[in-house]
Amino acid sequence: MIQSPVFRRIALAGVAVAAVAFIAIADTPANLTATLKPGKLQLKSAGALAFGTDGVLFVGDSLGGSVAAIDTNDHAAPKGAASINVEGLDAKIAAMVGAPADQIVINDMKINPLSKNVYLSASRGKGPDAQPLIVKVDTAGAVSNLSLDNVKFAQVSLVDAPASNPAARQDPRTTTITDMNYVNGNLLVAGMSNEEWTSALRSIPVPFKTAAPGATLQIWHDSHGRYETESPVRTFVPYTIGGQQYVIAAYTCTPLVKIPVSDLKAGAKVKGQTIADLGAGNQPLDMVPYKKDGKEFILVANSAFGLLKVQADHLETYATIDSPTKNPGTAGMPFDKITSVTNVKQLAQLDSSNAVVLTATPGPGPAFNPGPSVGPMNLKTIVLP
């Protein structure tokens, strides 16, 4: 992940992938896989993903209220530049696990910074009884299932996971973990909690021992015209801004918020600083920061607005948005809409110049919370705009 004077995204395992900020270093062993033990990993769900060092994949299990670290044993660098393009991925996964294609749901996607292979969290079936899957797509386009029956892993439970409430507008248990990033020995885990302020951002040292309660968050939501503590971070990236460590987080309807990492202490109540609003009626899906032509950008994939290229130079200069703007709907950091790629459901960085997108027709439901995508699902490598 890339470094720059304004903000730098960390290079995972020495690979030049565009980057993030430096967070306090945990007591991390030279080889993270050495801390993992073989056995059968049991997951109730497979959602948010993140890669650490040594090809270790972190998997968020919202229904189980836990996070797992898995040794993928996938360390070899690709021969030459990687480019991944696979059509009908849902059908290929369905054939592999013996299910109809319309019963395959993709939940998240990340790229192994060592091998450049794509990993997806998915489910066979829909609803609480769906079978969790971890799927690998290699740089040649071959699709395989990462078996959890005999893998090296570690698992930690979240002490602040919310209880299930199926009668709620959205069961908070399903959003226990909405996004994750691994930075210098710590796993940052966003989502919902059982605290008074239910929006949480947890920092868990790796290797896993225990997970303390996370910090809980309050933000100004410009589109809603109020402060909120019950809306979870949907996607985030760590950054260094003006020499200090922050998290840039995106929320539904769609504020961008910077949060000081130094404030993320266990049990703390933290007030984030809203610095942009991309517009109402939208769900942010993924964020990729990168540098191009000497300037800094964040590419944001959204449910309703498609791909937005947000100008991110000098993030320290943007004023806090803490009252309704004169032009409701958008404010703060300027952005451009990228129309050359549509129906993006997942976005992940491949290298400093390219990204991989998963595209599919949106499912039924409101734009800010659409249902499962309608196939075919396709993987495509794109040049960062």
Distance CA 179, CA 239 (A): 15
* Phi and psi, residue 276, nearest 5°: -160, 160
Residue 199 falls inside a structural domain:
yes
Instruction: Quickly list H helices, 107-229.
Output: none
| DSSP β-bridge partners for residue 305 | none
When divided into structural domains, the chain yields a total of 1
DSSP string, 220-249: EETTTTEEESSSPP-EEEEEEETTEEEEEE
More confident residue, 332 or 152: 152
The boundaries of the domain holding residue 44 are 12-383
Residue 182 falls inside a structural domain:
yes
Residue 113 falls inside a structural domain:
yes
Residue 198 falls inside a structural domain:
yes
Asked if residues 19 and 9 have their Cβ atoms less than 8 Å apart, the reply is yes
- Residue 273, classified by CB atoms within 10 Å of its CB into exposed (0-12), middle (13-18) or buried (19+), is middle
- Closest to 162 (Cα-Cα) out of 149, 181, 178, 146: 178
Residue 7 falls inside a structural domain:
no
Q: Could you report how far apart the first and last alpha carbons of the chain are, in Å?
A: 17
Give the chain's mean pLDDT.
90
Instruction: Quickly list H helices, the chain.
Output: 89-97
CATH number at residue 317: 2.115.10
Give pLDDT, residue 138.
97
Residue 3 falls inside a structural domain:
no
Here the tokens at position 383 are 């040049």
* Phi and psi, residue 269, nearest 5°: -100, 120
- Closest to 101 (Cα-Cα) out of 136, 125, 128, 129: 125
- Residue 364, classified by CB atoms within 10 Å of its CB into exposed (0-12), middle (13-18) or buried (19+), is exposed
Q: In this prediction, what percent of the chain has a pLDDT beyond 70?
A: 91
Q: How confident is the model at residue 22 (pLDDT cuts 50, 70, 90)?
A: very low
Here the tokens at position 301 are 């994939």
Here the tokens at position 105 are 């749901």
pLDDT of 182 above 60:
yes
Residue 351 falls inside a structural domain:
yes
pLDDT of 14 above 50:
no
List pLDDT tens digits, range 75-114.
Answer: 999 988 899 999 999 999 999 999 999 999 999 999 999 9
Q: 45: number of CA atoms within 13 Å, CB side?
A: 23
pTM (predicted TM-score): 0.90
List pLDDT tens digits, range 155-179.
Answer: 999 999 999 998 888 899 999 999 9
Residue 6 falls inside a structural domain:
no
Dihedral-angle region of residue 88 (phi above 0 means left; psi in -120 to 50 means alpha; beta otherwise):
left
Give pLDDT, residue 329.
60
pLDDT of 24 above 50:
no
Q: In this prediction, what percent of the chain has a pLDDT beyond 90?
A: 77
Give pLDDT, residue 114.
97
